[in-house]
């Protein structure tokens, strides 16, 4: 036997022993955090349950909900991270009420900072977050909301007419998939409300492509290497941010010239211009790049979740003709599409039953089902269990939506 073979024969048992020791320590680490909480008792080495999470996420979270039925929460282990799934509404409220430096931070996505960037509203807390919220209040004045309502209606009516033309070209027996049509309408609506004419037609198309890449990357493992979906998503997000930063700069030019605001970014920048003129210094979080990053947050929040809710509106109204009849009666008593005028914000507020339908859609099929947080410190969730520091906590908005309601499984706007 040569010296190298002899060395390997001595080293191999040590490596095998070390590997088995690491596996054992991983199991012990997990079980010490798990204690007697419902969840898997044996882990797949290193990966945990990441494979079933990726291959069938719906089934994965349904199983977590079933496991948590007895005590209100359950645990699991995914790619080196200990996770806590919360089903009980009161416990979820406890998490939401403790987003602060010594308790929980909202993460939005386990690898979100790499995608969304550092200047991101999702990861702000404390006084910085309060200051930013105060500065964006100008985006939601009655005048601003009326402007947005008019922009939305113009785009929605245009898309409705195009859908009618599309329907006239196909066989009545041939269904037309609505998902992509609604998503395109929603994307154009949010882009126009937030950015107005600052976004050119070429930029809108590039934005749409990059946004698709970004969404695909959110569902993949964070391999930041050329050719991988995560890298494509990261590069797409950087291009989107560059475009939004340019839009912020263009808006500042117009608002400094005293022009009237025509979209959300204008109302935002107009207030910043006013504050800068008063104090002679720009307010915090007012650079073009920061504004662009926050607009990215708005656009992300306004896209897929809203598209999901709009599709559920169509589905639920179609399956509940009595609700659809009441909505039509209420709307037709206030506004007619043949009137050639747009609905005002005041008219929208008069539609109480229609508002109830919208709220019930969000309750019955919440678009944002899980809201991940990370435990900054050990946190006492109950009298007998403390969430370990570093855990990713998933309060389930979906499960809470079916707690405390009469006949919760029934769609009932009343």
pLDDT band at 109 (very low <50, low <70, confident <90, very high): low
pLDDT at 4: 61
What gap in Å lies between CA 39 and CA 63, rounded to an integer?
9
299 or 313: whose pLDDT is higher? 313
Give φ, ψ of 159 to 5 degrees: -70, -40
Task: Tell me which of 254, 284, 319 is where a domain ends.
Answer: 319
User: Are 202 and 260 in the same domain?
Assistant: yes
Domain-located, residue 326: no
Which residue reads 């009326």 in tokens? 146
| Contact partners, residue 378, CB within 8 Å, separation at least 6 | 386, 387, 388, 389
Say yes or no to pLDDT of 131 above 90. no
| Residue 140 and residue 274 share a domain | yes
- Nearest 5 degrees, angle CA 116-CA 133-CA 299? 40
- The total number of residues written for the chain in this structure: 414
The residue behind tokens 């908005």 is: 397
Residues 95 and 177 in one domain: no
Question: Which CATH number covers residue 295?
Answer: 1.10.630.10
Residue 277 lies in a domain: yes
Same domain (yes/no): 87, 184: no
Q: Please tell me what DSSP assigns to residue 169.
A: T
Helix (H, G, I), strand (E, B) or coil at 142: helix
Query: What are the C-alpha distances in Å from 361 to residues 316, 370, 395?
Result: 8, 17, 20
Burial environment of residue 190 by CB neighbours within 10 A (0 to 12, 13 to 18, 19 or more):
buried
Q: Is the pLDDT of residue 8 over 90?
A: no
Do the domain assignments include residue 324?
Answer: no
| 165 and 75 housed in the same domain | no
- Strand, coil or helix: 121: helix
For residue 377, the SS3 value is coil
Percent of the chain exceeding pLDDT 90 equals 51
For residue 173, the Cα-to-chain-centroid distance in whole angstroms is: 36
Q: Is 151 helix (H, G, I), strand (E, B) or coil?
A: helix
149 and 298 co-located in one domain: yes
Tokens 């993949």 found at: 220
> Has residue 221 been placed in a domain?
yes
For the segment 170-183, the average pLDDT, to the nearest whole number, is 86
Residues 134 and 269 in one domain: yes
CB atoms within 10 A of CB 402: 15
State the pLDDT at residue 35: 93
Range of the domain at 250: 129-319
Nearest 5°: phi and psi at 5? -65, -40
- Same domain assignment for residues 167 and 240: yes
Q: Do both 390 and 280 map to the same domain? A: no
Q: Max CA-CA distance within the chain?
A: 95
Contact 83, 75 (CB under 8 A): yes
Task: Let me know whether 169 and 245 are in one domain.
Answer: yes
Q: 208 with 168, same domain?
A: yes
Residue 316 or residue 345, greater confidence:
316
User: Tell me: the pLDDT tens digits for 134-152?
Assistant: 888 888 888 998 899 999 9
Q: Which tens digit of pLDDT belongs to each residue from 340-396?
A: 889 888 898 999 999 999 999 999 999 888 888 999 999 999 999 999 999 999 999
Residues 234-249: pLDDT tens digits? 898 899 999 999 999 9
Q: Report the domain count for the chain.
A: 2
| pLDDT at position 311 over 80 | yes
Q: Tell whether 19 is covered by a domain.
A: yes
What average pLDDT does this structure show over 238-261? Answer: 93
């Amino acid at each position: 036997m040569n010296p190298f073979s002899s060395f390997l024969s001595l080293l191999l048992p040590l490596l095998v022993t070390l590997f088995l020791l690491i596996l054992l320590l991983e199991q012990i680490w997990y079980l010490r955090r798990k204690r007697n909480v419902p969840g898997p008792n044996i882990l797949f080495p290193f990966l945990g349950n990441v494979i079933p999470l990726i291959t069938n996420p719906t089934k994965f979270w349904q199983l977590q909900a079933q496991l948590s039925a007895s005590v209100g929460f359950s645990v699991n282990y995914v790619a080196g991270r200990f996770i806590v799934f919360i089903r009980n509404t009161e416990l979820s409220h406890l998490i939401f009420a403790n987003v602060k430096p010594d308790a929980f931070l909202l993460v939005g996505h386990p690898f979100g900072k790499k995608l969304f960037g550092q200047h991101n509203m999702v990861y702000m807390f404390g006084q910085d977050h309060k200051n930013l919220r105060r500065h964006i209040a100008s985006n939601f004045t009655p005048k601003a909301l009326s402007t947005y309502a008019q922009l939305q209606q113009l785009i929605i009516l245009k898309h409705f007419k195009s859908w009618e033309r599309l329907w006239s070209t196909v066989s009545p027996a041939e269904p037309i998939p609505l998902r992509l049509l609604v998503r395109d309408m929603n994307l154009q609506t949010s882009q126009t409300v937030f950015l107005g004419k600052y976004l050119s037609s070429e930029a809108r198309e590039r934005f749409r492509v990059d946004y698709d890449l970004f969404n695909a990357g959110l569902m993949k493992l964070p391999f930041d290497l050329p050719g991988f979906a995560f890298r494509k998503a990261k590069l797409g997000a950087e291009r989107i941010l560059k475009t939004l930063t340019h839009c912020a700069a263009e808006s500042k030019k117009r608002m400094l010239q005293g022009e009237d605001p025509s979209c959300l970014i204008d109302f935002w920048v107009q207030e910043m211009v006013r504050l800068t003129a008063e104090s002679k210094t720009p307010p915090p979080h007012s650079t073009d790049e920061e504004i662009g990053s926050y607009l990215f947050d708005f656009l992300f929040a306004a896209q897929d979740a809203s598209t999901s809710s709009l599709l559920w509106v169509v589905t639920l109204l179609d399956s509940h003709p009595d609700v659809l009849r009441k909505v039509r009666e209420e709307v037709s008593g206030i506004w007619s599409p043949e009137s050639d005028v747009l609905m005002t914000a005041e008219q929208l507020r008069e539609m109480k039953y229609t508002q109830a339908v919208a709220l019930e859609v969000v309750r019955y099929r919440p678009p944002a089902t899980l809201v991940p947080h990370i435990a900054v410190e050990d946190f006492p969730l109950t009298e007998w269990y403390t969430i370990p520091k570093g855990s990713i906590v998933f309060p389930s908005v979906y499960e809470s939506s079916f707690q405390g309601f009469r006949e919760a499984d029934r769609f009932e706007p009343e």
